[in-house]
Amino acid sequence: MSYVGPDLEPPRPPRRPLRGPLTVAVAALVPGALAGWLVWQAVGDSGGDGSAAQASPSAPANRSPSSGAPDDAKERPDGASGRAGGQSGGDAGDGGEAGPLKGKVVVVDPGHNPGNFRHPSDINRQVDIGTNRKECDTTGTATNDGYTEAEFTLDVSRRLRTLLEKEGATVKFTQDDDRAFGPCVDERARIGNEAAADAVVSVHADGSAAGNRGFHVILPGSVHSGAADTRPIVAPSRDLGERIAGRFLSVTGSPPSNYIGGGTGLDVREDLGGLNLSTVPKVFIECGNMRDTEDSERLTSGAWRQKAARGISEGIVGFLRG
């Protein structure tokens, strides 16, 4: 395996206790998120306790036929747009289709790069993230069967692009497996800034211990140091992140993380260059834990990844429409 070490995600500093206002805001999210969760369960799109890994040959008949299918399941395109057939019709760099997001720019940042592991010296180079210096990029993690985070993030991001373009948005990627490695985290942030993006989402999956499950959305903490000044984006990024978390929970049925965020599906960090250097609303989403067998069943399912993309897309649409 090229994935040496227990977890090649950036090292995590000790969690600081949630502050008062944050706790209130997080508490406000929970009822809505739980309501979405209950609605999701009520429509019967779940196996048992909502854990997709509970699915078995005796799974309920109303599960999507492609649920649990191997990678790249050929699920139907979401929605009823005339753009069925899989091909997005090319890059909508001209402003996308007519739709509620016409004129809006969304930058999607597929975490890592499939080529990173071939360029260790390049991605280990230190870059300035305002608060300190950090590696240019990392290889990302992988499932125990070798499905890499970099493949995952590109797949979800491409599905997300298709959905957002249907809404009329202009979508730009930081990388589309079209470069040897990277970009570095500072460049990833700069791409969103220079695009004057209305929203930026960085797509990831975590590499935590088995038994740690569920998704979480990472919001920028308030940082003002060197080139980093997140103060103007903290509030709108929280709005964006809460909307994504709520819709992700509702659409995928995946639980909020049981190891970060106290069940809220939200985390705040001040150590990520991609957030610290952003001047536009931006969040990360860790869609699940690749090292956990229950989560990895979801993450390796094309049908589930379509749901993940739809949850993220709906959160972005809600944020941009206000």
Q: Which residues bind Zn ion (CB under 5 A)?
A: 111, 140, 204
Q: Which is nearer to Zn ion, 111 or 255 (CB)?
A: 111
Active site residue 286: yes
In this chain, which residue has its C-beta nearest to Zn ion?
A: 204
Q: What whole-number distance in Å separates Cα of residue 111 and Cα of residue 148? A: 11
**8 Å CB contact between 36 and 45:** no
List the catalytic residue out of 286, 294, 297, 314. 286
Least Å distance between CB 271 and Zn ion?
14
At how many degrees (to 10) do helices 234-252 and 20-42 cross?
20
The secondary structure of residue 143, as a DSSP letter, is -
Least Å distance between CB 83 and Zn ion?
29
Least Å distance between CB 45 and Zn ion?
27
**8 Å CB contact between 198 and 280:** yes
Q: Which is nearer to Zn ion, 198 or 295 (CB)?
A: 295
Least Å distance between CB 228 and Zn ion?
20
Give, in order, the Cα–Cα distances in Å from 287 to each of 100, 167, 202, 217, 232.
26, 22, 11, 8, 26
Q: Which is nearer to Zn ion, 142 or 228 (CB)?
A: 142
| Closest-CA residue to 150 (of 316, 2, 314, 298) | 2
Coil vs helix vs strand at 204:
strand
Q: What whole-number distance in Å separates Cα of residue 192 and Cα of residue 282? A: 9
Catalytic residues: 286
